[in-house]
Structure 1
């Protein structure tokens, strides 16, 4: 039995994994898909002081309070930053890091460093009435849709769970200075459907920090593959958990 902790990206909530959780659980695994502070059942906690460090605390707190070990820690999109810092704090509890169409940082980097287009989002938020709220990306014509989701029913469902993202999440730096972090194996899952203009993906180095060959998988879909290809994504995660 593996233990999966699935961490959603910016603007989303833990509900985005609803099609994946039962597939992993049906295979006999423990699965946690929390909503980070400011989203889902924690939406009332959204505020300007919520940042990357808040979300790292969320994930570390869940893993330690539930005494989870050998965790397959999955981070989607922005949550690539979250899982990196979380694993840096508790590397002894993490068996595998999965970067799911995610930001993949180096020590000391923020979302702006990894994905420069976020500078525009921050500038827009700072000029808005709140000064700190970054609204969700707007829906675009197919094939881009809303985070890669184009089915009208799915778009409506997804839109209903989205919340604003605090600027602080995009400004705080990742901490990856624990030598034990380098030993944790990684898998990168890239969604290779249509990518909006301005969004970039860093090349994956051929060798992982632990010295083994890079593990890169692809899904032929848009960004929110947990909604558009849940069975295929679950299949990849099950293989990773069994490795």
Structure 2
């Protein structure tokens, strides 16, 4: 049995994994898909003090509380920053990092460093009335849709999950100063349908642990756990 810990990205909740979780569980594996602080049922906790460190603490706390080991740690989008810092703190408990259409940082980088277009969102939030709220990205014409979701029913469902992102999440840097983190194997899953302006940083041909990079693709938009849950689950099951 493999333990999958699925971490949602900015603006979302753990509910976004609803179509993936039963498929992994049906194959005999354990799946956890928490909602990070400030989203969903804890949206009332969102504020200027909530940041990347808050979400790293959410995940490391869950790993310790559940005494999880040999975890396949999956981070979607912004959560690439989260899982990187989690691995830095608990490298002995992580079997593999999976960057699911995610930001892949180096030590000391923030979201704006990894994805420069994010700086525009930060600037707007700082200049807004709240000074910290980053609203979800708007729905675009197909094929971009709402985070890559274009089916009307799926868009309506996704809208029930979305809430504002605290700007501090996009400002705080990732810590990757633990040498043991470099030994953890990585898998990158890229969604190939991308809106204009969102260029992906190339994945180095060699992983930090010295092995060849492992890159898989799904021919869909950003929220592949909603649009292609079966195909995504099949890829994740290869890692069991």
Q: TM-score, normalising length from structure 2? A: 0.99
1:9-48 equivalences under 5 Å are 9-48=9-48
Cα distance in 2, alignment partners of residues 197 and 92 from structure 1 = 39
Residue 206 of structure 1 corresponds to 205
What CA RMSD, in Å, does the superposition of the two structures yield over aligned residues? 0.5
Residue 184 of structure 1 corresponds to 184
Shift of 1:45: 1.0
Shift of 1:81: 0.1
Residue 224 of structure 1 corresponds to 223
Cα distance in 2, alignment partners of residues 119 and 129 from structure 1 = 18
Shift of 1:240: 1.2
Residue 127 of structure 1 corresponds to 127
Cα distance in 1, alignment partners of residues 35 and 159 from structure 2 = 16
1:19-168 equivalences under 5 Å are 19-168=19-168
Q: Secondary structure at the match of 2:200?
A: coil
Cα distance in 1, alignment partners of residues 115 and 51 from structure 2 = 17
Cα distance in 2, alignment partners of residues 228 and 13 from structure 1 = 16
Q: Secondary structure at the match of 1:60?
A: helix
Cα distance in 1, alignment partners of residues 88 and 38 from structure 2 = 23
Shift of 1:41: 2.0
Aligned residues: 240
Shift of 1:105: 0.2
Q: Secondary structure at the match of 1:208?
A: coil
Deviation readout 1:38-90 (Å, 9 max, x if unpaired): 01222121111000000000000000110000000000000000000000000
Cα distance in 2, alignment partners of residues 42 and 217 from structure 1 = 33
Q: TM-score, normalising length from structure 1? A: 0.98
Deviation readout 1:141-178 (Å, 9 max, x if unpaired): 11100000000000000011101000100000000110
Contiguous gaps of at least 5 residues in structure 2 = none
Residue 237 of structure 2 corresponds to 238
Cα distance in 1, alignment partners of residues 159 and 177 from structure 2 = 37
Shift of 1:197: 1.9
Cα distance in 1, alignment partners of residues 69 and 154 from structure 2 = 34
Contiguous gaps of at least 5 residues in structure 1 = none
Deviation readout 1:100-132 (Å, 9 max, x if unpaired): 000000000000000000111011111111010
